[in-house]
């Protein structure tokens, strides 16, 4: 059993271009294309968001990849307007060389109590023994996956439009969301806030969440 750290990778985006494309689409409503100027998108987007005229945000989408645990994707796949491709525990057989003959578990670094953390680690080690033993006994990967816990690491590719990202980030970066999701999505929100402030600056997040637990954040070139 190997303990691994989560990461999140976002495709390189040009926030200004995204916001201007949304402005262009939105101005169809008022046939006010002639009012487009260098920074006319700023007021337009703010007004749309304030008035709840958010369907215009659906014209642009962003894809991310992340290395997270099963609990994270179990929660995120509840969002119906996002698309997912997820490492399959039915097809990936962790006893194989390709996977290092081991099960990888996402480090719950936010568990600060040493005794609790040690107990979690022991349960992951036990789980791996049972998974491998089931394989030895001839169980299919379909059967073995029944032994996998929420902590099992998996790669996920996720795509959503800007409206859905705003909604997901509002729900999943607050202190009500699971810490394993907060550690991945707060860094993403901060990137979006930097790239598309007119859309994402109003999204509040858990500022008390310890930054040392943030997942590694990468921009794919
Ligand atoms: C802190 C927290 C705790 C949670 N706890 C639980 C739990 O204990 N058990 C559990 O089962 N789930 C739980 N959930 C999941 C939650 O109930 C939602 O299923 C999940 O967050 C997806 O949100 P959504 O429906 O707003 O989003 P999306 O599917 O992303 O939809 C976006 C928006 O579209 C609209 N929409 C989508 N579908 C419909 C529809 N059919 N009818 C009308 N409007 C629609 C809604 O306005 C919705 O907000 C929890 C979520 C959070 C954030």
How many CB atoms sit inside 10 A of residue 24's CB?
Answer: 15
Whether 154 is covered by a domain: the verdict is yes
Q: Is residue 215 part of a domain?
A: yes
Choose the residue to mutate in 71, 75, 78 for probing ligand 1, maximizing ligand atoms within 8 Å of C-beta.
Answer: 78
Q: Is residue 160 part of a domain?
A: yes
What is the model's pTM? 0.96
Residue 149 is assigned to a structural domain of this protein: yes
Ligand 1 centroid to residue 78 C-alpha, Å: 7
* Helices 15-30 & 179-195 angle (0-180, nearest 10): 70
Does residue 106 form part of some domain? yes
How many Å lie between the centroid of ligand 1 and the Cα of residue 203? 17
| Beta strand pairing call for 61-69 and 153-161 | antiparallel
Domain boundaries, position 205: 1-14+60-221
Q: Are 199 and 62 in contact (CB under 8 A)?
A: no
For ligand 1, what atom is nearest to the CA of residue 168?
Answer: 30
Distance of CA 58 to the CA centre of its chain: 18
Domain with residue 93: its CATH number is 3.30.1360.170
pLDDT in tens, the chain (221 residues): 999 999 999 998 999 999 999 999 999 999 999 999 999 999 999 999 999 999 999 999 999 999 999 999 999 999 999 999 999 999 999 999 999 999 999 999 999 999 999 999 999 999 999 999 999 999 999 999 999 999 999 999 999 999 999 999 999 999 999 999 999 999 999 999 999 999 999 999 999 999 999 999 999 97
Q: CA 15 to CA 194: how far, in whole Å?
A: 8
* Ligand 1, atom 9, residue with closest C-alpha: 75
Q: 101: which DSSP letter?
A: T
Tally of domains within the chain: 1
């Amino acid at each position: 059993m190997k303990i691994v750290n989560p990461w999140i990778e976002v495709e390189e985006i040009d926030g200004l271009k995204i916001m201007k494309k949304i402005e262009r689409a939105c101005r169809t409503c008022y046939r006010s294309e002639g009012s487009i100027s260098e920074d006319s998108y700023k007021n337009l987007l703010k007004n749309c968001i304030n008035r709840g005229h958010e369907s215009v945000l659906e014209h642009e989408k962003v894809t991310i990849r992340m290395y997270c645990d099963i609990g994270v994707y179990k929660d995120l796949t509840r969002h119906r307007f996002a698309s997912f491709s997820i490492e399959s525990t039915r097809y990936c057989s962790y006893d194989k060389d390709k996977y290092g003959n081991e099960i990888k578990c996402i480090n719950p670094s936010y568990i600060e109590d040493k005794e609790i953390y040690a107990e979690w680690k022991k349960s992951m080690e036990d789980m791996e023994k049972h998974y491998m033993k089931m394989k030895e006994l001839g169980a299919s990967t379909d059967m073995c996956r029944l032994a996998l816990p929420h902590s099992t690491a998996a790669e996920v590719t996720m795509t959503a439009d800007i409206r859905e990202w705003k909604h997901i980030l509002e729900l999943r970066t607050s202190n009500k969301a699971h810490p394993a999701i907060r550690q991945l999505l707060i860094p993403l929100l901060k990137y979006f806030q930097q790239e598309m402030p007119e859309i994402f600056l109003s999204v509040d997040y858990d500022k008390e969440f310890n930054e040392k637990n943030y997942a590694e954040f990468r921009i794919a070139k």
